[in-house]
Amino acid sequence: MKKLHLFYWLAVYTVRLWAAVWFRIDYIGRGNIPKEGGCIIAANHVSFLDPPLIGVGVATCRIIRFVARATLRNSRMANWIFDHLLTIPLDRTKGDLKAMRTVLGHLAQGEVVALFPEGTRSEDGNLQQAKAGIGFMIVKAGVPVVPTRIEGSFEAYPRGARFIRPRKIRVTFGKPVQPEEIKKLGDGKEVYGLAGDHIMRRIGELAPGVKSSF
């Protein structure tokens, strides 16, 4: 991994302090994050708060890269910021093979990559079905996948909200889904969808009683 810019660590510690005070945030199961080797952090997505809050939780033990929609890079300044936060741009208007290859390359180098299987923020806070490309990356990467559930961020800052409200937030890192578990789901292209659904079920198990659409 390239040498980290001071901006990365400044962002991590600033968000960590803010989250501790404003959200009284709790992190559960950080010991489930592999200490070394490539791994995927797969989380539900209900708020713009999710990436930074999950990211600083992982950053206590591993450097993390997020997959983020390319449209966020809408200026030279935004491009600089997202580069130094180590994000991987994804064009959601098409099957972005370049982004997928980039993700797989970083995982092969032993890095941690975080992604949101649902592809976009949930409108009602409930779990949605995983996008097809997510299962493809999970199968091809052959690395542990840590199902991750963030609770409270929807109440703090849902779609359409103008202000961030102080709400209790909890981030839970579940036991990793190992590559062998994914291989048992099946063969051929059908396994991509099955892999995505399997990870979403594992995320759902971290918060029993929450509705899902699959």
Domain ranges of the chain: 6-204
pLDDT at 59: 87
Bridge partner list, 177? 145
Lowest mean pLDDT among 1-10, 28-37, 64-73, 131-140: 1-10
Residue 211 has pLDDT above 60, yes or no: no
pLDDT at 212: 46
Residue 208 has pLDDT above 80, yes or no: no
- Cβ neighbors of 123 (< 8 A, separation 6 or more) are 159
Which of 1.20.58.2050, 3.40.1130.10, 3.10.20.340, 3.30.565.10 is the CATH number of 6-204? 3.40.1130.10
Q: What is the mean pLDDT of residues 126-131?
A: 92
Q: What is the mean pLDDT of residues 131-137?
A: 89
Query: Residue 140, Cβ neighbours under 10 Å: how many?
Result: 15
pLDDT at 3: 62
